[in-house]
Amino acid sequence: MDALLQQVVIDEAVDAARRERFPGGAALEFADLEDAGREQALDGLREAEPVSWVPALGGWLVTGYAPAREVLGPKTGLTVEAHENLVRASLGHMMLTSDAGDHTRQRTPFERPFRMREVDGLFGDAIQAELDALMDAMTGAGGCELGGALAAPFAVRMTGRVLGLSLDDVARIDGFYEAFAEGMVYDGNPERQRRADAARDQLNAILGSEFARCRRARDASITSEVVNDAGTGLGDDEIASQLRVIMFGGIETIQSGIMNTVLLLLRDPAQLDAVRADHDLLGGAIEESLRLIPPVSFIERWTPGDTVIGGVEIGTGEFIGVSVLSANRDPAVFDQPLHFDIRRQNARRHLSFSFGEHFCLGAHLARLELRAALERLIDLPGLRLVSVEEPAGFAFRRPPTLHLAWQS
């Protein structure tokens, strides 16, 4: 592996010139990227400066759909292999923070079970079993906080089942991933990284025990197959890093996707009624939810050489962030983009599973899990929204809490 790219430091004169050229980006506050209710600031920036210099971020921000796909696609030659990559700092050297051959080497041993033709047969029964247990425990109560009662435990337990890991302490595992998510916020706060480091050390200890168990008693799980296959060329540290990021996708995307979709449906009774009457519409509801409130709302890249993105010249060693949240709301691609439309024909063009080389490994499984969970939830009699903290988050976006009630 080559040395990591070092992000350049922009001097005051260059920064001042860029602020003058990109006044919209210069005016953007970090809270506009993170807080609930401030999405309109990104919409305004996209209309005026779809590729902009944003001092609050310490780099460039792409808010338009076309330049976002350009950044994520293979032709621009941008890289994730940068010293300043906070995903790498939180989760380690792994498939999501590696390019080209190194990326392929790390990803290939894990790909087969996540293929579309595999996931239902491998995991369909497990998904239903987990939902049976969780729904049985909560339906008689007449109400719940959805994240704690179903979304988080379902996401964590299914991730454990998929990977063959014993993830019994849901709150502890979920807490690790909250710390990792905080570590990926580019606001310069070192305390976030300290918490992520502590979470990684604790999770590594769990994974080390799991590897030892898999070697003592080999089984058919993904983890057991990889740790017992010397042909992968992956050492334990690398296997642990791949599992950390796969777990992240399995936990964060599913938890967020369930909560975001339920919220959007409950706020639109006509579309909720339509989905209840025809569960075939759920697929469209899920894609539209992923578009409008993307669980992964920010993606980063760096420039190994001078490049042009969306007509803007960007120098070597610079940081480029993609606002998935904004790109998914681009009216040049999505008609009436702020409207939640379960019948939107092009909803799957969203960038919420990324694009290009780093397209989400578990996208097919995520869709299967989300559909199964939502089929159960929307059929709860008299389901209604009690209260919600609005969806927020810099890199990962969902309601912190979502309280529901139904007829028990």
Which pLDDT score, from 0 to 100, does residue 277 have?
96
Find residue 313's DSSP bridge partners: 308
Q: Which of 302, 315, 364 has the alpha carbon at shortest distance from 87?
A: 302
Question: What is 12-405's CATH topology?
Answer: Cytochrome p450 (1.10.630)
Which pLDDT score, from 0 to 100, does residue 85 have?
95
pLDDT (tens digit, 9 = 90+) per residue, 360-406? 999 999 999 999 999 999 999 999 999 999 999 999 999 999 999 99
**Token pair in block for residue 137:** 């425990």
Domain parsing of the chain, residue ranges: 12-405
CA distances 20 to 227, 301, 315, Å, are 54, 24, 18
Query: What is the average per-residue pLDDT within 54-81?
Result: 96
Query: What is the average per-residue pLDDT within 103-124?
Result: 94
pTM: 0.95
CA distances 201 to 18, 176, 182, 238, Å, are 40, 10, 16, 14
How far apart CA 176 and CA 174 sit, in angstroms, is 5
Which pLDDT score, from 0 to 100, does residue 347 have?
98
Is 50 exceeded by the pLDDT of residue 1? no
Which pLDDT score, from 0 to 100, does residue 2 have?
56
Residue percentage of the chain with pLDDT more than 90: 94
Count of beta carbons in the 10 Å neighbourhood of residue 77: 13
Cβ partners under 8 Å of residue 345, min gap 6: none
Please, which pLDDT band fits residue 61 given cuts at 50, 70 and 90?
A: very high
Average pLDDT, the chain: 95
Is 80 exceeded by the pLDDT of residue 234? yes
pLDDT (tens digit, 9 = 90+) per residue, 130-166? 999 999 999 999 999 999 999 999 999 999 999 999 8
